[in-house]
Structure 1
Amino acid sequence: MKNLFTLLLVLITATVFSQTKVSGFVTDDKGQGVPFANVVFKDSFKGTITNEEGRFYLESDTKYSTIVVSFVGYVTKEIELLERSNYKMEIVLEEEAAALDEVVIVSGKQSKKNNPAIDILRKIWENRRDNGVKKFDQYAYDKYEKLEFDLNTIDSALIKSKIFKGMEFIFDEVDTSRVTGNTYLPIFINEAFSKVYGDNKLKDVKEVLEGNKNSGFDNNNTLIAYLKDLYADYDIYDNYLKFFDKAFTSPLSRTGIDVYNYALIDSTFRGDKWCYNIVYYPRRKNELTFKGDFWVNDTTWAIKEINMQATKSANLNWVRDVYIEQEYDVLNDSTFLITRDYFMSDFSFRDKEEARGIYGKRTTLYDNYKFDIPKPKEFYKSQVDPYQYEVYNRPDDFWEQNRLEKLNGDEQSVYKMLDTLKTVPRFKALYSIGSILASGYYEVDNFDVGPVFSIFGFNEAEGFRVRLGGRTYFGQNDPWRLEGFGAYGFRDQRLKYGLSGKILLDRKSRLTAYGGFRKDVEQTGASLTSTTDVLGRNLASSSLVTVGANDRLTRIKLGTVGFSIEPAKNFNVRLTGSYRVLRTATETFSINYLKEDGTIGDDVHQPEVELGFFYTPKRKTTGYGVERTTINSGDFASIYLGYTKGLKDVLGGDFDYQRIQGLYTQPWNIGGIGRLTTTVEAGKTFGDVNISLLNPIPGNQTLFSIYNTFSQLDFYEFVSDEYVSVHFQHNFGGRIFQRIPWIRDLNLREVIGFRTVIGNISQSNIDLNRSNIVYQAPTQPYYEYSVGIGNIFKVFRIDFNVRGNYLNEVSHPDARKYGFTGSFGFDF
């Protein structure tokens, strides 16, 4: 009964929304699936190729009566379509006896020698810089982009599920994917129209948003921006294409012949251009590769059409399918320019075809190309107001004029359906649950309670710790925000609390005022670069499980006030004044120091003024309020340079000193061998200060792998007043494991790391010390290295860490030579 209902649902929606739909299985006469066979509607260019198992799905808004199935070495077969929708067809191809001695069957490994497809590929490499907008000094074009989310694999069980009680009307909009053949329900749509300007001499691009329209959810700009970043613009002529933070080898890559098989299977006119058709598919499993085909012109060697589908075995999490189509048109009979780009992903927690998931689809159309019209350099550098009311409230006639592709039936109705859905109480409840999981906060009117993930903690000073906080939240573009927390430790029986606020004074320059106060317990030896984040708290301060005694903790009272401004995009300048009071938090840890009058001080009162410069090139953000959301975290460089002045005898300040610090973190996508992250930190303190104001080399006594710390060092094992630290971490993404037959199917990923630091401590600071910490600085470079296995059950990574030196039993009696740490994460 279930299958009958599903079939009826599919047939009904097929009749409403499409004219012709076909799906099936292509096999040879031995019953084996025929991968990469061509399936097209007769007398059209509308077609597809079968997947690795020989399965296919094809649809068109036009009514067709015949499909043609062909493959090199097999007899071409025409099949009459008796219905508008023809599902689960079984098509058997017979080998073409007369051609068996003349052709190479497109299966298995293809030769790299005497292969006409590879000869064509080499011509593409030679001419790839002579095509597209890169051929001109300047360019401009119109860009229309449509983003859509769909719930897929709709069946009767889902429709009857209690979770959708009261929301059954949404299933009136069910349709069928032309790529996978699965039913789906549109749940979100966004449209944007932009003017794009570029200058190849200046190497600059600027996109000006003219209009934006979405399905009606007021707070979905972060979702839109995140999806756009996942589907970031790409150039198929590049050697590697970055999707989901992974580098896929392009089928047009110069290294493509090492990872793909290529076969020339056809040649004919595409429009008015004679083109060759080349099929490609991976040489090995588990690599980040595609399968598909492309049409290439025989004179310019430019791509006319291409489709790419990620292989099922690709080492990619949470993404069940990736499908890409691009179409190009000809300018002045020589230059090929992209006109249409379609990108679809099938997100799912399970890989099985019957599992439900979410389609993420992006359709981008390009039109009205103009060239060699220069604009001044200031045009590209000038800041644009991130929010203009009229851009997000364009009338319908604007979209009728600028929408480069008409909305189909389900897209037209999704706006109305979603506006209605927002009024259903059950949907509001489901939306709240999803919001908590995504943001970590529980929404109560205009106040968010949380973050829920930091409620519980433990440390030697507080024992078991409970924390509850919240923030004001009227919307993601709030011009001001207040945030606070309260915490209680059951061992020390003390209350901790914090409150901070910030207000955006000028939206264009992002002039912001901020301030706050915190009373808490902190592990001040957990990072090199100092911070005045008034509510910040590191993992070392509340880790539930530690290696050895994590008792070198400090009670801190910290107040701050300051201003920040962004004079240029992603360049931020901050001026912060702070006042802190520091005391030891345990009986086994001392911060004592020798005062000028010969007495011993056991606490620190210290005002500071800090001037900080932050530069994050290529960072992408969403929102225009006092807090913006970064949507491409970990994908851009981060540079910090700071100067701090400690004030003595001002508000009772104990020390007079100056500190300079710098930090540079850079991620590197290194082609087909993974992703490298590098960090360099350096700093020096001028003047005599106690241990609380020095720079302890950040140890890590937790069981978590924490980047930019030293896993085999204890807290305060090394103390310095000048230092240089270097960290390297490289994730191969499974490039090694995928070549081991008995382990490749686990989709594990290899991670290696190396970290080192060198530093010094002045004699005057040593003489000042009266704490129970013996000052030792890494005057000879200290180093560690690690090897790790990631993607265990898709969420866990374990690292084996080795301490390289400073193993003397006298000077470092408790040195930990080996250790294991781990981390959790939902990475693609």
Structure 2
Amino acid sequence: MAQTKVGGVVYDDLGETVAFANVVFPNSSEGTITNDNGRFYLQSDNSFDSIEVSFIGYKTQVIKLNAKVSLDLTITLETETASLDEVVVYTGKTSKKNNPAIDILRKVWENRRKNGLAQFKQYQYDKYEKLEFDMNTIDSAMINSKLFRGMEFIFDYADTSRVTGKTYLPIFINESLAKVYGDNQLNKKKEDVKANKNSGFSNNQTIIAFVKDLYNDIDVYDRYLKFFDKSFASPVGKAGIDTYNYVLRDTALVDGVESYNIIYYPRRKNELTFKGDFWVAAESYAIKEINMQATKSANINWVKEIYIEQEFDVLNDSLFLITRDYFMSDFALNKKEKSKGIYGKRTTLYDNYQFDIEKPADFYKRRVNDFDPEVYNRDEAYWDQNRLEKLNKDEKQIYVMLDTLKKNKKFKRLYNLGTILASGYYEMDGYDIGPIFSIFGFNDVEGLRLRAGGRTFFTSNDPWRIEGYTAYGFRDDKFKYGISGKALLDKRSRLTVYAGNRRDVEQLGASLTNTNDVLGRSLASSALISAGNNNRLSNINLSTVGVSFEPVYNFEIRLNGSYRTIETANPGVFSLDYLDPDTGEVSGEVKQSAITLTTTYTPGRKMSNYGVDRTLINEGAYPILYMNYTKGIKDLLNSDFNYDKFSFYYSHPFQIGAFGRLTARVEAGKTFGTVPLSLLNVVPGNQTYFNIQGTFNTMDFYEFVTDQYATIHLDHNFNGRLFSRIPGLRDLQLRELVGIKAVYGTISDENRAINRSGLMYRAPEDVYWEYSAGIGNIFKILRIDVSFRGSYNFLPDARSMAITGSFGFSF
């Protein structure tokens, strides 16, 4: 319903586009800033007959508007000759000294804790959130394409974005209502969801959870603002002075409060920065309004536009609290102006603030299972009464259009195809076939390997599930299989029982942290992606039964018993022989019963779905603390050995502001007792061409064997911080990667003495280490690392260098 819409491109008198120029409706606080290519779009609910365009070093231009909608303006700014004496001003750089805008910004920092929720012991408020996804850049070619034939009616619901001026079509909408509680003394916060409603992919909780995770709440006063797994320098935070140029543009009344208007734009290209402006209350130095638009040169994938607005209200003379938060992103394959994409929009409203209402500490304890079906089934009368902002006519029609679309046969086919590609399973009624990406394999023992599998699947919240597969190797002429079942007995504590059996060929030396997952298979077991000989494979027959539960959210305890037999899968080439201490005879097969207790703590982990299986939302974004104790029991089910094994690992990702992300991983373990090679800790080498977490890229399988060990892995991604400052490289948006890994370990004389495998045990007693450098974000999906061996280069056939890579989609 906007009254005035205007857009176009701003040039200088040399014909170059002007980035970050200021465009406003005269005598108002409504405005925007041109993007990296000089393009802008601005709309208002009010009627205006002109716009004002200005930038440091140029004469201000007032452009008359001949129509209420003018989207193709071409504006030329003339150089201000009086500014030519000051090179700093002419190039758009602003001084850090004697700059009134920066003086005001310092006052903002000094007063940040006096203006918001931090000044109270406790707080609570109502929160309404609306998420919407839209296809954008709708044109006649799209409308008439074969893809949408039979679904043309959906384009009757198209609208125009108030930020970019592009036509868009809604495809998903979600609303939620919540009560938020917080305690600044306990440093605790709780969000109690009262209602949730969505259309589009209404039953897909994973999509909803993933979308919500993309749009985390942000505090503009923080030094860095994190979303899309990236840290953007906040224009209001203390990192801003070294990152942005600031200009004090105006002083005006905003909602009756005298305020300063400050424009900001980045000092350098290709960094994770914004451009925009904000209003600061003159007396309290609180942020009154702010808009932030990510620069197009920012090193972030699949996102063409990011636009954020926040508004704050005055509750009394000094208390400013956020009342509205708007976040819009444009997901696209590239950043070209005419490229089509998907808008993701979140509008959050805050109301009914209350303070100093104390709650007991247990109130903030998060429940393991917080699924309440009633939350997702509120009637329309409830929503009409409790929404903090009424839906407009177009938004109401979104529900109608999407509910109609879901009944369309062609849409159902497209949706099912997308589901197969996303999950890897082909869905049937009550049963899924897959994973389809595991059908083919190859290794030195099996030759060509074909695999077929499936799982029961009625809904994403099934309380029980059965999974299985069968595989056949054409070289060894053998069938393999795996089958497992699990059932969720108690949702509140996630008490789960499980059991399974697997007979297969596997590469044992691929991980220090062993599990009893009967359906798991290491990437190292395939020779299709291996360097050198990959023939040290084993036949595994594993049976397991166990129970798991979560006494505290994201803290899992697992107890299971297992029985397995292990023998070489490649006789004459690879041996697992050992001297039996009781009989004095040489044996090649191990039969072992064991009981294992495992605890896993994952603070910050986010999951979706509430059945026996859940989907991880934020992989790699949280710490992991894992501890394991295994007791081997001799003679139980004819078991061969008594032993005790402890293992531990801790992984933690650290976001280091503008300098990227460091991931640190520490592992340690010890085996008490005399055991053969198949029960020892083989330091995991990596003979594949792919990056495998926790392995050493220049080490071969079974190169080092230990019964006690400690390792450290440090990997850092600079996210393009260095390349962004090198002409010729910055436009490629590559990312620098460095890493270092080390392991120390020993092996006892007793374990050496029973070895009859022909493999000379070697432990890294002098510390084995390697270092790596790499380039990521090649074509936005490829990473290549070059690793160099730092020690034990004297060994025969030692690989001094290894090249590995990986594919993946990341922002």
Q: Specify the TM-score bucket, using the shorter chain as the normaliser.
A: over 0.9
Shift of 1:370: 0.9
1:159-308 map, 5 Å? 159-308=143-292
Give a deviation string over 1:307-340, Cα, whole Å, max 9, x none.
1111111111111111111111112210211111
Determine the C-alpha separation between the residues in 2 that align with 1:397 and 1:42. Answer: 43
Determine the C-alpha separation between the residues in 2 that align with 1:420 and 1:721. Answer: 63
- Aligned partner of 2:661 among 675, 679, 684: 675
1:64 and 1:215, CA in 2 relative to 1: closer, same or farther beyond 3 A? farther
Shift of 1:429: 1.0
- Aligned partner of 1:743 among 724, 729, 736: 729
1:589 aligns with 2:574: yes
Shift of 1:75: 5.6
Q: Which residue of 2 aligns with 1:826?
A: 809
Instruction: Name the SS for the 1:520 alignment partner.
Output: strand
Q: Which amino acid aligns with 1:146?
A: K
Q: Which amino acid aligns with 2:803?
A: F
Instruction: Name the SS for the 1:346 alignment partner.
Output: strand
Determine the C-alpha separation between the residues in 2 that align with 1:99 and 1:824. Answer: 50
Q: Which residue of 1 aligns with 2:699?
A: 713
Instruction: Name the SS for the 1:789 alignment partner.
Output: strand
Determine the C-alpha separation between the residues in 2 that align with 1:106 and 1:475. Answer: 62
- Aligned partner of 2:786 among 800, 803, 811: 800
Determine the C-alpha separation between the residues in 2 that align with 1:512 and 1:61. Answer: 56
Q: Which amino acid aligns with 2:430?
A: N
Q: Which residue of 2 aligns with 1:620?
A: 606
Determine the C-alpha separation between the residues in 2 that align with 1:43 and 1:528. Answer: 67
Give a deviation string over 1:153-210, Cα, whole Å, max 9, x none.
1111110111111100000011111111111100000000000001111111100000
1:725-740 map, 5 Å? 725-740=711-726
Instruction: Name the SS for the 1:775 alignment partner.
Output: coil
Determine the C-alpha separation between the residues in 2 that align with 1:606 and 1:271. Answer: 75
1:106 and 1:369, CA in 2 relative to 1: closer, same or farther beyond 3 A? farther
Which sits farther off after the overlay, 17-26 or 493-502?
Answer: 17-26
Unaligned runs of 5+ in 1: 1-16
Q: Report if aligned partners of 2:684, 2:701 keep a CA contact under 8 Å in 1.
A: yes
Determine the C-alpha separation between the residues in 2 that align with 1:409 and 1:312. Answer: 33
Q: Report if aligned partners of 1:219, 1:475 keep a CA contact under 8 Å in 2.
A: no
Q: Report if aligned partners of 2:369, 2:494 keep a CA contact under 8 Å in 1.
A: no
Q: Which residue of 2 aligns with 1:486?
A: 470
Q: Which residue of 1 aligns with 2:517?
A: 533
TM-score normalised by length of structure 2 = 0.97
Determine the C-alpha separation between the residues in 2 that align with 1:330 and 1:100. Answer: 42
Q: Which amino acid aligns with 1:115?
A: N
- Aligned partner of 1:632 among 608, 618, 640: 618
Q: Report if aligned partners of 1:186, 1:410 keep a CA contact under 8 Å in 2.
A: no
Q: Which residue of 2 aligns with 1:781?
A: 767
1:611 aligns with 2:597: yes
Q: Which residue of 1 aligns with 2:43?
A: 59
Shift of 1:104: 8.5
Determine the C-alpha separation between the residues in 2 that align with 1:290 and 1:498. Answer: 52
Shift of 1:825: 1.1
- Aligned partner of 1:791 among 777, 780, 795: 777
Shift of 1:132: 1.8
1:474 aligns with 2:461: no
Q: Report if aligned partners of 1:149, 1:186 keep a CA contact under 8 Å in 2.
A: yes
Determine the C-alpha separation between the residues in 2 that align with 1:591 and 1:352. Answer: 58
Determine the C-alpha separation between the residues in 1 that align with 2:440 and 2:246. Answer: 56
Q: Report if aligned partners of 1:756, 1:782 keep a CA contact under 8 Å in 2.
A: yes
- Aligned partner of 2:433 among 432, 449, 470: 449
Instruction: Name the SS for the 2:235 alignment partner.
Output: coil
Name the Cα RMSD after superposition. 1.9
Give a deviation string over 1:70-109, Cα, whole Å, max 9, x none.
4556665554544332221233455678999999958522
Instruction: Name the SS for the 1:650 alignment partner.
Output: coil
Q: Report if aligned partners of 2:126, 2:177 keep a CA contact under 8 Å in 1.
A: yes
1:650 and 1:312, CA in 2 relative to 1: closer, same or farther beyond 3 A? same
Q: Which amino acid aligns with 1:594?
A: L
- Between the two proteins, what is the percent identity of the paired residues? 62
Instruction: Name the SS for the 2:173 alignment partner.
Output: strand
Instruction: Name the SS for the 2:649 alignment partner.
Output: strand
Which sits farther off after the overlay, 728-737 or 39-48?
Answer: 39-48
Determine the C-alpha separation between the residues in 2 that align with 1:163 and 1:382. Answer: 45
Q: Report if aligned partners of 1:195, 1:208 keep a CA contact under 8 Å in 2.
A: yes
Which sits farther off after the overlay, 615-624 or 246-255?
Answer: 246-255
1:131 aligns with 2:85: no
Instruction: Name the SS for the 1:806 alignment partner.
Output: coil
1:326 aligns with 2:310: yes
Q: Which amino acid aligns with 1:824?
A: F
Shift of 1:768: 1.1
Q: Which residue of 1 aligns with 2:542?
A: 558
- Aligned partner of 1:685 among 651, 668, 671: 671
Q: Report if aligned partners of 2:35, 2:296 keep a CA contact under 8 Å in 1.
A: no
Q: Report if aligned partners of 1:72, 1:104 keep a CA contact under 8 Å in 2.
A: no
Determine the C-alpha separation between the residues in 1 that align with 2:273 and 2:71. Answer: 29
Instruction: Name the SS for the 2:374 alignment partner.
Output: helix
Shift of 1:738: 1.0
Shift of 1:390: 1.5
1:291 and 1:33, CA in 2 relative to 1: closer, same or farther beyond 3 A? same
Shift of 1:347: 0.6
Q: Report if aligned partners of 1:72, 1:103 keep a CA contact under 8 Å in 2.
A: no
Q: Which residue of 2 aligns with 1:369?
A: 353
Shift of 1:495: 0.8
1:278 and 1:45, CA in 2 relative to 1: closer, same or farther beyond 3 A? closer
1:340 and 1:770, CA in 2 relative to 1: closer, same or farther beyond 3 A? same
1:352 aligns with 2:339: no
Determine the C-alpha separation between the residues in 1 that align with 2:13 and 2:782. Answer: 45
- Aligned partner of 1:88 among 72, 78, 97: 72
Q: Which amino acid aligns with 1:575?
A: L
Q: Which amino acid aligns with 1:804?
A: G
Determine the C-alpha separation between the residues in 1 that align with 2:55 and 2:744. Answer: 64
Instruction: Name the SS for the 2:142 alignment partner.
Output: helix
Q: Which amino acid aligns with 1:777?
A: A
Q: Which residue of 2 aligns with 1:644?
A: 630
Determine the C-alpha separation between the residues in 2 that align with 1:275 and 1:381. Answer: 41
Q: Which residue of 2 aligns with 1:761?
A: 747
Q: Which amino acid aligns with 1:767?
A: A
TM-score normalised by length of structure 1 = 0.95
1:97 and 1:788, CA in 2 relative to 1: closer, same or farther beyond 3 A? closer
Instruction: Name the SS for the 2:107 alignment partner.
Output: helix
Give a deviation string over 1:320-378, Cα, whole Å, max 9, x none.
11111111111221021111111111111122111111111111111111111111100
Give a deviation string over 1:737-796, Cα, whole Å, max 9, x none.
111112111111111111111111111111111112111111121111101111111111
1:724 and 1:253, CA in 2 relative to 1: closer, same or farther beyond 3 A? same
Give a deviation string over 1:556-583, Cα, whole Å, max 9, x none.
0111111111111100111111111111
Shift of 1:707: 2.0
Instruction: Name the SS for the 2:347 alignment partner.
Output: strand
Q: Which amino acid aligns with 1:503?
A: A
Q: Report if aligned partners of 1:106, 1:263 keep a CA contact under 8 Å in 2.
A: no
Q: Report if aligned partners of 2:369, 2:493 keep a CA contact under 8 Å in 1.
A: no
Determine the C-alpha separation between the residues in 1 that align with 2:368 and 2:672. Answer: 41
1:737 and 1:33, CA in 2 relative to 1: closer, same or farther beyond 3 A? closer
Shift of 1:65: 4.4
1:770 aligns with 2:753: no
Which sits farther off after the overlay, 506-515 or 461-470?
Answer: 461-470
Determine the C-alpha separation between the residues in 2 that align with 1:185 and 1:261. Answer: 36
Determine the C-alpha separation between the residues in 1 that align with 2:518 and 2:431. Answer: 20
Determine the C-alpha separation between the residues in 1 that align with 2:99 and 2:108. Answer: 15
